[in-house]
Amino acid sequence: MENNPYNLDNLPAVMREVRKKYGLSQSQIGKLLGKYDQKSISNVEKGLVRLTPQFCIRWFEICEAYEHIDLVHYLFRLHPTASAPIDPALNESASTAVINMEHQLEEALLSLKSLSKWIARDRPGRSAELPMNEIKQIFDLIAANKTLIYSLARNHGLKIQELADRWTRKAILDHVAMSRNEERQAV
C-alpha cells in the first residue's frame, strides 16, 4: 500500500482511525450506518469491501469529520474543484479561521483585480497564458471558507446542514439556484 494519504487504498484505514477518534465501536457505527454488524464494519476497515462515496460520506458525517468528507470528494473526483482536504488541526480555532479568511479575501481581491485586467486585454485570436497565480489565490477562498465554517461548527455549534438549507431557500427565492428539472425543460 502506498504511503500517500490521498489514495483510495488508504481510505479504509482512515475510516477506522476516524471512527476510533470519535469513540465509536465497530458495532456502534454499524448501527448508525444502518443494519451493518461488527463483522461487516471490520471488513470495511480491512479494505475487503468496495467503498462507495455515499457510504464513506455517511461514515464521516456520523463522526463529524468534515475534512474527511472533502477527502472523499477528492478521492472519488466528485467535483472539479475538489482538492486535498485541509488539516483538521487548522479548523479548530474560529478566531484563527476568521483571521485567515480576512487575509485570503484581501489576497483574492488583489488577484481578482489583476485577473480582470488580464481578461480586459484578452482579444479573439490572441492566446495568452492564464494567470495561474491569481486564479490560485482566488481558489484559496474555497479552503478558507471551509476552514471558517468547520471551526464555527466545532467551536460554536454551527449546524452546517441548516446553513446550507437556509442558503438554498434564499438562493431559490432570489433565482440564483439552478432551476428544477421541470423548469429547465420548459425553457
- pLDDT, residue 183, reads 57
Q: Answer with the one of 75, 108, 127 that is the final residue of a domain.
A: 75
Give yes or no for a contact between 143 and 86, defined as CB atoms under 8 angstroms apart.
Answer: yes
pLDDT value for 77? 95
- CA 49, distance to chain mean position in Å, is 24
Whether residue 64 is contained in a domain is answered as yes
Q: What HEC string does 85-150 produce?
A: CCCHHHHCCHHHHHHHHHHHHHHHHHHHHHHHHHHHHCCCCCCCCCCHHHHHHHHHHHHHHHHHHH
Domain range for residue 106? 88-186
Q: Give burial (CB, 10 Å; 0-12/13-18/19+) of 182.
A: exposed
Residues 68 and 105 in one domain: no
pLDDT at 1: 43
Total tally of structural domains belonging to the chain: 2
Query: Same structural domain for residues 104 and 39?
Result: no
Mean pLDDT by 10 residues, the chain (187 residues): 73 97 97 96 97 97 95 96 89 92 97 94 82 96 95 94 95 89 54
Please report the pLDDT score of residue 185 as a whole number.
56
